[in-house]
């Protein structure tokens, strides 16, 4: 199987997938920034360095690099066109768009009936300050678009809250405030690949953020049927085929869905579970292409 891998060629995930492919599959790393499209009367083509993406059995999206609004929209449009032409794109572009947009994905999770944190989004510091009080004066401020905990901060001081909200307003940002939920310093990461679900617990002794990239320790997690169903429901709520679902066991006793990542990592998960996740992803791609 020939696979176009939209990823940084020097990334750990590109190397891991190429390792797992061995002699069974041919993977070619390609950069989002090099995508072009040729529109002619008889056909529409997508190319990277002169190579047509229609020549591949599958297109695997393993990165979502920053760019201008025009660049991001163009990239998603090209992937959408390829999908409409019958190409196997994982994840589907609409799922990627939904997962990247924290507001849209949160609403989808809520509509699915999953527990989500109380969240307020607005465009002015005054509205955010009013919501700060409504959310008990302790909030997590997040960028609307972001990943791996970047750009996230916890604010519980009114003066600092005002400064934070004013700064974001001057940047023309959407202000995304989520009520801070007390927890035991750990969350759950569930990785969904088709109908398979793998899991780990991420624990951080000195930081309320539990991203492994920020020093959290990964621990084994038994994925029981209820957890599996939550992960599948969250993944399908955004239309993804492969996804990372983050759940927070709050002190209230609720298992709260925080977000869904449509370009999930698995380095720590592979180490904790002993499962060759890269191989599982490629096996899953084969089932979609057959």
Task: Return the pLDDT at 93.
Answer: 95
Cα separation, 76 vs 212, in Å, equals 28
So what's the pLDDT on residue 212?
72
Interval 144-167 mean pLDDT:
86
pLDDT for position 28: 95
Interval 187-229: pLDDT, tens: 999 999 999 999 999 987 766 777 776 677 889 999 999 999 9
pLDDT band at 251 (very low <50, low <70, confident <90, very high): confident
Fold designation for 99-115+183-276: D-amino Acid Aminotransferase; Chain A, domain 1 (3.30.470)
Predicted structure pTM score: 0.92
Q: What is the pLDDT of residue 216?
A: 75
Distance CA 229, CA 50 (A): 43
DSSP string covering 177-191: EEE---BSSEEEEEE
* Mean pLDDT computed over 234-243: 98
- Model confidence at 252, pLDDT cuts 50, 70, 90, reads confident
125, 106, 249, 187: CA torsion to nearest 10? -90
To the question of domain 2-90 being in CATH 3.30.70.920, the answer is no
Of 110 and 68, which is predicted with more confidence?
110
How much is the mean pLDDT over the chain? 93
Could you give the CA distance from residue 10 to residue 146 in angstroms, rounded to a whole number?
A: 21
Is the pLDDT assigned to residue 180 strictly greater than 80? yes
Helix (H) or strand (E) holding 36, with range, is strand 35-39
Give the pLDDT confidence score for residue 147 in this predicted structure: 56
CATH class of 119-179: alpha beta
Mean predicted confidence (pLDDT) in 156-175: 95
Q: Which residues belong to CATH 3.30.470.20 in the chain?
A: 99-115+183-276
Q: Which pair of structure tokens corresponds to residue 9?
A: 């060629």
Query: How many H helices and E strands in the chain?
Result: 9, 16
pLDDT (tens digit per residue) in 48-99 = 999 999 999 999 999 888 888 899 999 999 999 999 999 999 999 999 999 9
> In the chain, pLDDT over 70 holds for what percent of residues?
96
| pLDDT in the model for residue 168 | 95
Q: In DSSP terms, which residues pair with 187 in a beta bridge?
A: 202
SS3 letters across 82-137: HHHCCCCEECCHHHHHHHHCHHHHHHHHHHCCCCCCCEEEECCHHHHHHHHHHCCC
Length of the chain: 290
Cα 244 to Cα 198: distance, rounded to the nearest angstrom: 9
Asked if 99 and 262 touch (Cβ cutoff 8 Å), the reply is: yes
Which residue is listed with tokens 């007390």? Answer: 182
| Residues carrying CATH 3.30.1490.20, the chain | 119-179
**Range(s) of the chain covered by CATH 3.40.50.20:** 2-90
For the stretch 209-244, what's the b/e string if a residue is b when 16 or more beta carbons lie within 10 angstroms of its beta carbon?
A: bbbbeeebebeebebeeebbebbbebbbbbbbbbbb
Identify the pLDDT of residue 229: 97
Q: Please report which confidence band the pLDDT of residue 146 belongs to, taking 50, 70 and 90 as the band edges.
A: low
Distance CA 59, CA 8 (A): 14
Predicted local confidence at residue 151, as pLDDT: 77
């Amino acid at each position: 199987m020939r696979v176009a891998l939209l990823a940084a060629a020097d990334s750990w995930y590109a190397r891991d997938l190429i390792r797992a492919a061995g002699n069974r599959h041919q993977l070619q790393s390609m950069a989002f920034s090099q995508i072009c499209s040729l529109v002619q009367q008889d056909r529409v083509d997508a190319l990277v360095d002169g190579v047509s993406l229609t020549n591949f059995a599958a297109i695997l999206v393993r990165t979502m690099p920053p760019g201008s609004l025009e660049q991001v929209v163009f990239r998603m449009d090209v992937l959408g066109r390829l999908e409409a032409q019958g190409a196997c794109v994982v994840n589907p572009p609409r799922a990627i768009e939904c997962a990247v947009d924290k507001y849209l994905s949160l609403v989808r999770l809520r509509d699915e009936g999953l527990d989500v944190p109380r969240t307020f989004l607005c465009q002015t510091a005054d509205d955010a300050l009013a919501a700060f009080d409504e959310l008990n004066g302790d909030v997590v401020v997040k960028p609307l678009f972001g990943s791996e905990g970047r750009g996230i901060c916890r604010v519980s001081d009114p003066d600092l809250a005002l400064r934070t909200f004013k700064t974001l307003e001057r940047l023309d940002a959407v202000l995304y405030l989520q009520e801070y939920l007390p927890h035991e310093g750990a969350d759950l990461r569930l990785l969904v690949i088709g109908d398979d679900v793998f899991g780990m617990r991420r624990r951080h002794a000195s930081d309320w953020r539990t991203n492994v990239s920020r020093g959290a320790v990964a621990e084994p997690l038994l994925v029981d049927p209820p957890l599996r169903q939550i992960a599948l429901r969250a993944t399908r709520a955004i239309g993804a085929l492969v996804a990372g679902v983050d759940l927070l066991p709050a002190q209230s006793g609720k298992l709260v869905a925080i977000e869904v990542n449509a370009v999930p990592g698995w380095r720590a998960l592979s180490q904790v579970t002993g499962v060759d996740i890269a191989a599982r992803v490629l096996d899953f791609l084969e089932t979609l292409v057959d």
